[in-house]
């Protein structure tokens, strides 16, 4: 197992990763509340933890990656009421499309997606223990609350003092609570909402208890790594710590907390109301999964990432095309002529340099998953291969395989260069961009007949082109 360091949000230090039971690593990541399609902010979080899992597995750790599905909460119930559908069916529908989107994005590292409502016995048991141990109380309406004053460590993870706690997005003002910071474990039933029987009357679980009921069952009272986007640190993760540590007496719940930075749209937190400009599926349609992964990973995972709809993906599309050029050429030569293709050896020590670059890539990524620096190393390699005198075509198959090793690494660990390349398959946006560039050249020389011909052919292939303010935009209209 490789030595790996992780920036732990709880201690605010970069620490050596020491699994509880090596080589196993229990990884839990707060997943989606599937009440609407995923946006590109979600994509960032899940690509970041996909790389964490891929890398740890490459380095010999046996990762058990659990990502929960909050298939029951206030937002989901509200949305289902608006649409006049059953909340659990709504969650199922959005989760199915979420899985397809993740598959396209190359996120295939999750071992298990547990649904909150499948863990009702564990939820009831944990609420019961918290009542028995005096950390929770019953309100007059049958709801059960966690009493924050009984758990002095509350606030330690997010470094908030209880008196200064500001209500978070999901903390509602409730006069049945003893203190404003108390949070609900079990919500008494409301007519028209799904409910389950419990010793405290019919109701449904609060949001936070779903997570610790699931992790208690699947990963135990203590596990290695808890990940999520940073906006969940308070109150959600603080509540998870309080519930689990109070119920089990086992401390700490998670040995390491990894929080991914948010994706900001013009400086604002991305939310599901932003709509199409940031819908994950449409963005993959537009630029392809590789461009999007490069965009996410070419930044420190903890930093906020400011998304500019006009600029960000254009830059990444160009950068991705540049980065993968030697990889594509090598793959083409090897696919066509095989590894025993004749030719010269790689010039100088280039073959050895490829192998030592792979070591360096691993070492760089093992420092708190520094994807940005790893990608900089890959760009350096692309530059060297592009400047090769005589080009790649002069090199024998065995040499080409050696030179491709850093790209193979990027494919395995970062999930780049992994889009289907078969003709007619999901070609991503690059092919469209090439067609649009040819069309722009035709227009610039005044050949509007050719320009229109390219536009019509794209339309026949399900791509609508719009010319606006001297630029061409396109979107998929689908084969209807």
234 close to 181: Cβ distance less than 8 angstroms: no
Q: Which is nearer to Zn ion, 76 or 287 (CB)?
A: 76
The set of residues, in sequence order, having a beta carbon less than 8 Å from that of 166 and lying 6+ positions away, is none
344: helix, coil or strand? strand
Q: Which is nearer to Zn ion, 30 or 284 (CB)?
A: 30
Residue 471 DSSP one-character state:
E
Instruction: Give the Cα separation of 442 and 449 in Å (integer).
Output: 9
Q: Which is nearer to Zn ion, 30 or 366 (CB)?
A: 30
Sign of CA dihedral 237, 243, 245, 248: negative
The set of residues, in sequence order, having a beta carbon less than 8 Å from that of 372 and lying 6+ positions away, is 297, 298, 299, 300
Q: Which is nearer to Zn ion, 66 or 395 (CB)?
A: 66
**Distance in Å, CB of 73 to Zn ion, minimum:** 10
Own/partner contacts of 108-111, CB < 8 Å, gap of 24 or more, are 108/50, 109/49, 109/50, 109/53, 109/54, 109/57, 109/63, 109/65, 110/29, 110/50, 110/53, 110/65, 110/66, 110/67, 111/63, 111/64, 111/65, 111/66
**Distance in Å, CB of 127 to Zn ion, minimum:** 17
**Distance in Å, CB of 83 to Zn ion, minimum:** 24
Q: Which is nearer to Zn ion, 230 or 388 (CB)?
A: 230
Nearest to residue 53, comparing CAs of 110, 112, 114? 110
**Distance in Å, CB of 259 to Zn ion, minimum:** 12
**Distance in Å, CB of 172 to Zn ion, minimum:** 18
Residue 57 preceded by cis peptide, ω within 30: no
Retrieve residue 370's tokens.
């520094």
Q: Which is nearer to Zn ion, 231 or 337 (CB)?
A: 231
**Distance in Å, CB of 236 to Zn ion, minimum:** 5
**Distance in Å, CB of 214 to Zn ion, minimum:** 9
Nearest to residue 237, comparing CAs of 267, 195, 208? 208
Residue 235 preceded by cis peptide, ω within 30: yes
Q: Which is nearer to Zn ion, 122 or 211 (CB)?
A: 211
Nearest to residue 94, comparing CAs of 31, 157, 144? 31
Nearest to residue 309, comparing CAs of 244, 264, 340? 264
Own/partner contacts of 335-341, CB < 8 Å, gap of 24 or more, are 337/397, 338/397, 339/397, 339/398, 339/400, 339/401, 340/397, 340/398, 341/396, 341/397, 341/400
Tell me the residue ranges of DSSP E strands in 73-191.
Answer: 136-138, 144-146, 183-188
**Distance in Å, CB of 226 to Zn ion, minimum:** 9
Helix (H) or strand (E) holding 289: helix 289-297
Environment class of residue 311 by beta-carbon count within 10 Å: exposed (0-12), middle (13-18) or buried (19+)?
exposed
Q: Which is nearer to Zn ion, 8 or 211 (CB)?
A: 211
Which residue's entry shows tokens 């075509």?
Answer: 393
**Distance in Å, CB of 146 to Zn ion, minimum:** 15
**Distance in Å, CB of 209 to Zn ion, minimum:** 10
**Distance in Å, CB of 99 to Zn ion, minimum:** 18
Q: Which is nearer to Zn ion, 146 or 407 (CB)?
A: 146
Q: Which is nearer to Zn ion, 209 or 413 (CB)?
A: 209
Q: Which is nearer to Zn ion, 30 or 279 (CB)?
A: 30
DSSP, residue by residue, 433-450 = HHHHHHHHHHHHTT-HHH
Residue nearest to Zn ion (CB): 30
Contact positions toward Zn ion, by CB under 5 A? 30, 211
């Amino acid at each position: 197992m490789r030595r790996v360091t992780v920036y732990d949000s709880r201690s605010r230090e970069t620490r050596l990763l020491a699994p509880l039971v090596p080589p196993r690593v229990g990884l839990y990541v707060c997943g989606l509340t599937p009440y609407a399609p995923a946006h590109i902010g979600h994509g960032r979080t899940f690509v970041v933890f996909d790389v964490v899992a891929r890398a740890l597995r490459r380095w010999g750790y046996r990762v058990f990656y659990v990502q929960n599905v909050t298939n029951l909460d206030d937002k989901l119930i509200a949305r289902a009421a608006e649409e006049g559908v059953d909340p659990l069916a709504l969650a199922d529908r959005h989760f199915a499309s979420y899985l397809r989107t993740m598959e396209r994005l190359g996120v295939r590292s999750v071992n298990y997606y547990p649904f909150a409502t499948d863990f009702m016995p564990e939820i009831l048991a944990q609420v019961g223990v918290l009542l028995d141990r005096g950390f929770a109380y019953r309100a007059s309406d049958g709801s059960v609350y966690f009493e924050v004053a009984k758990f002095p460590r509350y606030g330690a993870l997010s470094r908030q003092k209880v008196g200064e706690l500001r209500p978070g997005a999901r903390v509602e003002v409730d006069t049945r609570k003893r203190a404003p910071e108390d949070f609900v474990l079990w919500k008494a039933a409301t007519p028209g909402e799904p409910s389950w029987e419990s010793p405290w009357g019919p109701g449904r679980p609060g949001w936070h208890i779903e997570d610790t009921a699931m992790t208690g069952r699947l990963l135990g009272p203590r596990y290695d790594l808890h990940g999520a986007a940073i906006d969940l640190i308070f109150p959600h993760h603080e509540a998870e710590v309080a519930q689990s540590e109070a119920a089990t007496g086992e401390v700490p719940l998670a040995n390491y907390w990894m929080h991914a930075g948010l994706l900001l749209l013009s400086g604002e937190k991305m939310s599901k109301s932003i709509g199409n400009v940031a819908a994950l599926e449409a963005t993959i349609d537009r630029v392809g999964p590789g461009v999007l992964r490069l965009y996410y990973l070419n930044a420190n995972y903890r930093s906020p990432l400011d998304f500019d709809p006009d600029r960000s993906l254009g830059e990444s599309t160009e950068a991705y095309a540049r980065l993968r050029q030697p990889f594509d050429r090598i793959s083409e030569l090897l696919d066509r002529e095989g590894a025993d293709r004749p030719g010269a050896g790689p010039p100088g020590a280039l073959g050895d340099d490829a192998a030592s670059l792979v070591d360096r890539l691993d070492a760089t990524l093992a420092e708190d998953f520094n994807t940005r620096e790893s990608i900089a190393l890959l760009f350096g390699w692309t530059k060297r291969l592009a400047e090769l005198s005589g080009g790649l075509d002069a090199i024998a198959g065995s040499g080409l395989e050696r030179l491709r090793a850093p790209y193979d690494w990027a494919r395995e660990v970062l999930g780049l260069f992994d889009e289907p390349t078969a003709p007619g398959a999901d070609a991503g946006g690059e092919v469209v961009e090439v067609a649009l560039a040819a069309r722009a050249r035709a227009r610039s020389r005044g050949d509007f007949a050719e320009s229109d011909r390219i536009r019509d052919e794209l339309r026949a292939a399900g791509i609508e082109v719009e010319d606006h303010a001297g630029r061409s935009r396109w979107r998929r209209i689908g084969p209807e």
